[in-house]
Amino acid sequence: MTEKIKKQIIIQATGIGREYRIGKQVVSVLKNIDLTIYKHDFMTISGASGVGKSTLLHILGLLDEPSEGKIAFQGIEIQSLSNARKAEIRNKSIGFIFQFFHLLPEFSAMENVLLPALMRRNTTPVKELKERSKALLDKVGLSHRMKHKPSELSGGEQQRVAIARAIMNKPDVIFADEPTGNLDSKASLEIQNLLYELNDQTNQTIVIVTHNTELAAIGRRKMHMSDGSIHELE
């Protein structure tokens, strides 16, 4: 039995296709994609702009639905679930990091990190949640900036806040869409190292989509997309 068979499957995508209708024309973005993501994977998905990387990430992250095929998240077939149940899984089990940080401008760094936990409506006292958000900001090197608003932070600092926010609810998997796309080389390297640390120290599964060849090269599993299809690189 191989190591991959022994590992726990987080997401199983089978025969995924995605089409969009533009006027009278039907555009096929994803074509019969099969992909298995395992617990503790550090996966990069590379490919040129426009090949469907972000579309695939949105489907895997339950932000969009395929035109055909099936998605199973931790053994649960997603298509059979209500929108409310899908939203619950996203909030509890999935973290997102985007190229554009999507921080709320009127909130401080700590408040932005805290928000997913408050939306989860759990029974954990707010005081404990605040302590966790502070601890996460400390982990990403921003303990001295937690009261600052996004406009007072650099691009690299804003992305660190976004990463802390993504892991606030201790998700099983983190999806990152061009996480270093708006950063300089120094900040990009810091974010790469931080994602590696999260994967090593917390066993969180991380999936990064990017057209940046340097970022794609850091994956422990490397996938490549072209013409709506995907294959694993050696």
Inside any domain, residue 221: yes
Domain of residue 209, CATH code: 3.40.50.300
Beta strands 94-98 and 9-22: pairing type? unpaired
Inside any domain, residue 9: no
Inside any domain, residue 51: yes
Q: Which domain holds residue 193?
A: 40-63+80-232
Q: Is there a contact between 11 and 73 (Cβ–Cβ < 8 Å)? A: yes
pLDDT at residue number 234: 76
Residue 216 CA to residue 181 CA, distance in Å, equals 12
CA distances from 197 to 61, 72, 103, 229 (A): 22, 27, 23, 30
pLDDT at residue number 202: 83
What secondary structure does DSSP assign to 146-175, as a single string? TT--GGGS-HHHHHHHHHHHHTTT--SEEE
Does the pLDDT at position 232 exceed 70? yes
Inside any domain, residue 8: no
Inside any domain, residue 69: no
Does the pLDDT at position 2 exceed 70? no
131 pLDDT band (50/70/90 cuts)? very high
Neighbours of 6 (CB within 10 A): 8
In this prediction the pTM is 0.88
Percent of the chain with pLDDT over 70: 97
Number of domains in the chain: 1
pLDDT in tens, 201-217: 888 899 999 988 888 99
